[in-house]
Structure 1
Amino acid sequence: MKTILHAAGLALIAGSVSAAIPVGRGEISASAAATVTYDSNLFGTNDATGDTFGTLTPRVSYLKKAGLIEASANAGISFLRYLEQTELDAENLDLDATLQITNASQRNYSGLVSAAYRESADVNTDINARIETQATTFIAKGALITGPRSQVATNANYSDTQRSIASDQQILSTDVIYAYSDFFYGNSLRIAGNYDTLRTSGENARGVALDQKSYSLTGGLNRTFARDVLRFGFNYGYRIVNRSSEENPDRPARQSGSILSVILEGPFLPAKYFPKITSSFSLSYQSAATPGINDDGSKELVGTLRLAWEARERTRVRFSAYRTQRLAVSDVTVVTTSVQLGLDQTLRTNLTGTLTAGYDWSTYDEMDRDDNVVSASAGLRYHFARKWDANLTYFFNSISSNLRESTFDRHVVSLSVSYQF
């Protein structure tokens, strides 16, 4: 803890003589945040172990908006020191960089490339344990307008997550999309091809590493309504997944099936009758993008619904509901349904508050496990000086499961102060 106090003092002294530094056509700036946190359940178990710890996070940022390419980069390190559980002391790196083409709306092409590396440690409810994680991600996007009514876009996402326990996972997702507007009675044609891969280290209940490759081709029609602010889409396609024979010995390594999705994007509630409400909705019926161990490829209904109501000038009410399929750190498929209700309130010009309550229920394939989660959070943000901010947050999580070892409660309270040099 003394290390944090000494570093915080140096950061404050530096702040009195530092400012944004011009570099070429951009500038470099710095910030620092000091946080005190109490966590009632550091390891996510029913015999909870709590502790208080301090975090100091200095960060340096670079931003360039001039010219054809906009560039940004951030580098930070978090020093964590615990009062009692000193074996959890750590220094976690957080690095990211992004390059993108500026004023893309004024050109017939656009592009973005970004990379990030983050180290962290936190409770993971999939295995009810604290996991140290090193995550590397790469994202690339590009689009080209090929004619008055047509364009081509491509996307690639890669993530490599290394964990102290549970499975390491490498996921690659790529797609190429061709779109042609006013194709058929005012509808737009959309054709997409996808290639995805998944590899894991096999730290799971069966000791089997996942090795998957999938290919898919979809096509569909999209149409806009309400002066082009609401888009409805219907897409149908076919997907092939090649898996290692060890993943599911009772089924063929090659699986295939259809993909069906229905998408409604934009304010599905008419603005004429609901001028203070923004909304969005999407729905699809398909198998998991990255199926887990013994996942038989059965299809699930997944989607999202969001509503935001500007109740008053300073009051905003949020509601969201979603159903997703994901790959757990234990290499099994998890289907989660969640609902959340939130409130954002501006109490003063320099003081804002948030409240959120939610309920989730999850089913873990292969494990015969069902979880029900009640969560709540609250926060206050106070901008008390030109370059100073203070944040107070509270988080509560209560998990009830048919597995006793997966049932626990957790309270986390944090107070932080940040300074922008």
Structure 2
Amino acid sequence: MRARPNMATILLGASLLGLLGLLALLALGTRIDLAVYRLGGDAFLHGLPLYDQIMPGTGLPFTYPPFAALLFGPLAVLPKPAAQLIWAVTLLACLAALTRQVLAVARTGLLTSRPLPLAVLAAGVLATEPIRSNLAYGQINIPLMLLIIIDLRRRSGPLPAGILIGIAGAVKLTPLIFIPYLLCTGRRRDAGWAALSFSACSALAALATPTDSARFWTRLALDPSHVGGVAYAGNQSLAGVATRLAGHAIHDETWFRLVTLSTAAAGIGLAVAATRRHEPLLGWTVCGITGLLVSPISWTHHWLWALPALAWLAGPARPRGGRFAALGGFALLVLAPMWWLPYEHNREYSWHGWQLLIGNSYTIAAVLFLLTVLGHLLLSRPAAASTAADGTIPDQPAGPLMRPAAGQIADQIVAGHAVGSAERTALAHPEPNPPSSTTTLS
């Protein structure tokens, strides 16, 4: 008798067919944002004014720093289907690597050892709107986030930690929020390498395109409107919400700048506190979400940091009710209800009542997540330290357990420099970490 194929074989075959179909789909049509990247690369190769080029049919300009145009020069010389296929393979490979990195730090890696949970996880990740949009538009956010996570985990091979974050910041400015985070957690050398690599990449672009670089850094980098309408429904930053509520642009007003600075400081402080509590993924996620909140423009496809937030909420270190919160967050990312409302042509200014809730739902969920993290840090005991080579923070003196939690967090923020040296020691000399039933999601 012929043996029946087992579940693993069936899932593997279905996954391969689905992958081939997805690649074929992504190679056809037009990946709008990839077309804009190629527009910038083509302008660089032909010496054209970078920020005067407009993509035919859409009116979209190139909005990234000049260094990004240098990187996309090679894709600009390829035929569109070939460029889109190469970019689709790159995005899917980076997504797989990014998911693996996040699961490793979240200590839920055992999920990927079983075919059915792995297939469900992959389907769930692909179903979320930030991932769908990144693939559909040909966006660059997935590779940039992978660079950041690799650097934060010190998995960058021969390169000093911090360099990949600097490169990501030279392509897109929002990763730069991780430089003050590295400083505050005592990883001063990593922060220095990040700043140095960002400066070197930007200087290289300035040598190649001096006029475009001067225009970007003196004018365009300070003007979020050149990226798109701040009030647009897809902008789920604090500036987007406040603009829709006020009915006019507010990003240049003094009071809002103070709100932005205060939010950034509070978010980085919370990220440092989480890192000091031996919860590195939580610290990185809080920092990434803070960056999305304070950036003038955070389109829905920028919100990839919501995925590790779900991993923490559902993982072994989850807070009380974390799994229910993760389920609600997953539903929000799949449904993306802001697109159910009237949008474009400033129709966002007419939102009222319940429309304001679902139209600003990513931002509201992010604020609730940060408040949940604050409560978790105030009310729970510190997580057990680990010296495993999976990116977790090693053992450190936690201070007297009977001290008030708020006082402990304040000390953690002030004394963040202790983290960096301990991280370096543990990651350089990892110890084996025996499997435990607590590392699975039951």
The answer, yes or no, to whether TM exceeds 0.5 is: no
Return the structure number with greater helix share: 2
TM-score of the superposed pair, with normalisation by structure 1: 0.24
Higher RCO by CA contacts (8 Å cutoff, separation 6 or greater):
2
For the pair shown, the structure with the greater C-alpha radius of gyration is 1
TM-score of the superposed pair, with normalisation by structure 2: 0.23
